[in-house]
Amino acid sequence: MSTTLLIRGASQIVTVGGRAPRRAQALADVAVLRDGAILLLDGMISAVGPAAKVEKLKESKSAELLDLDGRVVLPGFVDSHTHLIHAASRVEEYELKIQGVGYEEIARKGGGILNSVGKLRTTSSEDLKARAQLFLERFAEHGTTTIEAKSGYGLDLTSELRILSLHKELSAEQPIEIVSTFLGAHVVPAEYRNKASGTGDYLKLLEQELLPEVAENGLAEYCDVFCEPFVFPSEQARRVLQTARSLGFGLRVHADQFTSDEGAKLAASLGASTADHLEATTVEGLTALRDANVQPVLHKPQV
């Protein structure tokens, strides 16, 4: 049975409607409709416009009414780079960064990705889920309706699958849409680092076990790789992403956080959906992304 909802009484309806993503100056072209109304049919917007016009539509006559009493209606926010499932904040690292401490020195002091990996592996699924639920409530309070959630703090078969399974559970249990990304290639985990063939062995684990398992169970829509010369250089990153594509994943790239253009050019050459971070990207790299229609995601928190 279809459901129809008429939203009226808004002081403003803010819309960025159009047939294509906006770029450059078009990003500032925000339409504000006053004394407007919105008609929804089965959860999809059927009509939006002046209230006098929308309320005369046939479907509006029998619709359930929602009066907003002067509130503002605007599109839901999309947070396109999150790590929803994690065991502890890395907020103490912000102070070190402000003081000019570099990424590698923070890692030597016990911080960074591997520190988060160690904490997550020893935290129960129940505690991880409860923590994530609190963050989802905060997202909703601030108007976010969709998030992209990356794994990458597990870096072994059990922990990565646990993160992605929690994404799936949480997406089904609450209203915020969670788009799940497998980031097994976040860094080489500690247990592989002291072996001569450690990086190669970990890449084989990603390609032969982790990616197929994630694909078979439908636990992620995208695969991401941290592409940096000292993490996964472009050829290693390309190898993982090509394997992911062959298994049906969309592609994302952690690109150019420290090194110019290598990640951006990789993302462009593969036609990735996004290139994230981009702190070190030059005009050349950004141009490559634009020409390949890859969405830049500017991002500068802890990775």
> Does residue 162 sit in the same domain as residue 237?
yes
Last residue of a domain, one of 18, 43, 73: 73
Whether residue 54 is found in the same domain as residue 120: no
Of 30, 55, 73, the position where a domain reaches its end is 73
Measured CA to CA, the distance from residue 296 to residue 267 in angstroms comes to 10
Q: How far apart are CA 186 and CA 164, in angstroms?
A: 14
Residue 139 scores a pLDDT above 80: yes
**CA 267 to CA 179: how far, in whole Å?**
19
What is the token pair recorded at 239? Answer: 């190898």
269 and 143 in one domain? yes
Q: What does the mean pLDDT of the chain come to?
A: 93
Residue 303 lies in a domain: no
Q: How far is CA 64 from the centre of its chain?
A: 34
Say if residue 231's pLDDT is above 50.
yes
What value, to the nearest 5°, has the Cα angle with vertex 216 and ends 210 and 221?
Answer: 80
Total-model pTM:
0.89
pLDDT on residue 228: 96
What letter represents residue 181's amino acid? T
Task: With a cut of 60, say whether residue 132 has pLDDT above it.
Answer: yes
- What is the tens place of the pLDDT at every residue in 153-199? 999 999 999 999 999 999 999 999 999 999 999 999 999 998 999 99
218, 272: one domain: yes
Question: 3-state class of 285 per DSSP?
Answer: helix
Do 118 and 39 lie in one domain? The reply is no
Region 244-255 average pLDDT? 98
Contact call for residues 129 and 167 (beta carbons, < 8 A): no
Q: What is the pLDDT of residue 79?
A: 96
In a domain, 24, yes or no: yes
pLDDT beyond 80 at 215: yes
- Contact status, residue 279 vs residue 269, Cβ threshold 8 Å: no
Contact 178, 149 (CB under 8 A): yes
CB 163, CB 154: distance < 8 Å: yes
Side chain identity at residue 163, one-letter code: I
- Same domain membership, residue 57 and residue 81: no
Residues 55, 109: one domain?
Answer: no
* Strands 177-185 and 144-150, bridge-based pairing: parallel
Find tokens 């917007």 and name the residue: 45
- Is residue 189 within 8 Å of 114, Cβ to Cβ? yes
Do 40 and 170 sit in the same domain of this protein? no
Mean pLDDT check: name the lowest of 25-39, 172-186, 225-239, 273-287.
25-39
Tell me the percentage of the chain whose pLDDT exceeds 90: 82
Q: Rounded to whole angstroms, how far apart are CA atoms 97 and 280?
A: 16
> CA 159 → CA 120, 256, 267, distances in Å?
8, 27, 27
- The structural domain count of the chain equals 2
Q: Is the pLDDT of residue 301 over 60?
A: no
53 & 136 share domain? no
Of 220, 116, 121, give the one whose Cα is nearest residue 171: 220
> In the chain, what's the furthest Cα-to-Cα distance?
73
Question: What is the domain extent for residue 245?
Answer: 77-298
Same domain, 159 and 286: yes
Amino acid, single-letter form, for residue 31: A
Regarding whether 82 and 64 lie in a shared domain, the answer is: no
Instruction: Give the whole-number percent of the chain exceeding pLDDT 70.
Output: 96
Of the ranges 96-100, 113-117, 233-237, 252-256, which one carries the lowest mean pLDDT score?
Answer: 96-100
More confident residue, 183 or 114: 183
218 and 87, same domain (yes or no): yes
Final residue of a structural domain among 50, 73, 96: 73
